[in-house]
Structure 1
């Protein structure tokens, strides 16, 4: 079973030469987020942005779930997961990277297990070296699916991990977005939210 911990490991190995790897709800802050370790009981819908995806966007298919990404983003399927990212900046620096994974697991697709899955992911995220301010935000309802949402950061990146279950399949979408390119958390959310609005289980 592949967790978002494994996803972040894939990110790091894919970009050792890049600074970015020195690791959807509206923007949350420690003041409006649940206490660390808590399991939110409510769900939230992602905001609808004026720049919502169109038919021109491309499909990233993780063989069990899909998202739509802008046409100029790249995606790489390695047989187990998809790494997708927006264009690099003018210096060739990756401003964001996302690992999208669907894997069989031992979890059953029940609401209670979604809570356990999210809490387990929160614990994994907190244990990552250099990660701080890890917390679980309210679950999201996206196109009929319920996703947990973990938010954290490290010295150089904004980190968001989304996950859900489809029967015994465990799906995670793990984002790392450069603080250097997007110093305001709201800028990172503006990149994440339109993509996560398109999440669909297949």
Structure 2
């Protein structure tokens, strides 16, 4: 199993329309769908989910963007926490970055296949809070685009009902608010619930998978 699949199993997601976003070095999304999706060009693939009726597929993909850029820019956990407290999450920076790791030469794979994509983060920005918020907004935008791509490929339901979040970003209330606003703007007809994962450790999901997982639900 991959880390993102194990993270999904550990998150508490278990129903059709449940999703899990893993905010790690890269951004990975998974969702329970009634339809199987496979797209090699975008790196989208599916696994049969062990629900009681064996009706659901665990679909998803992974971006090359993620929290690696924060380490590249020497943000410490303490600095992120301090700057996040000062943020006005309701006021967008309008920076529209593409936050690939610095010096990354392999482009993007999901939600768009663009092998020539480069990191567009403005590393000359002197305001560390604005820079951080711009990165938060950009990762949130790519996350929302990721679920929209699954929709375009035929996911059922069309958008997630609940999004569980694993990784350190799940504990950042300002980033969560930014993500909520991003989804609200894209999915105007929806009321997506955001919640931290029940367990953030992928090893919990691996342990569940090693047991009779269907009876855990």
TM over 0.5: no
Query: More strand by proportion, 1 or 2?
Result: 1
TM-score normalised according to structure 1 size: 0.29
Query: More helix by proportion, 1 or 2?
Result: 2
TM-score normalised according to structure 2 size: 0.27
Larger Rg: 2
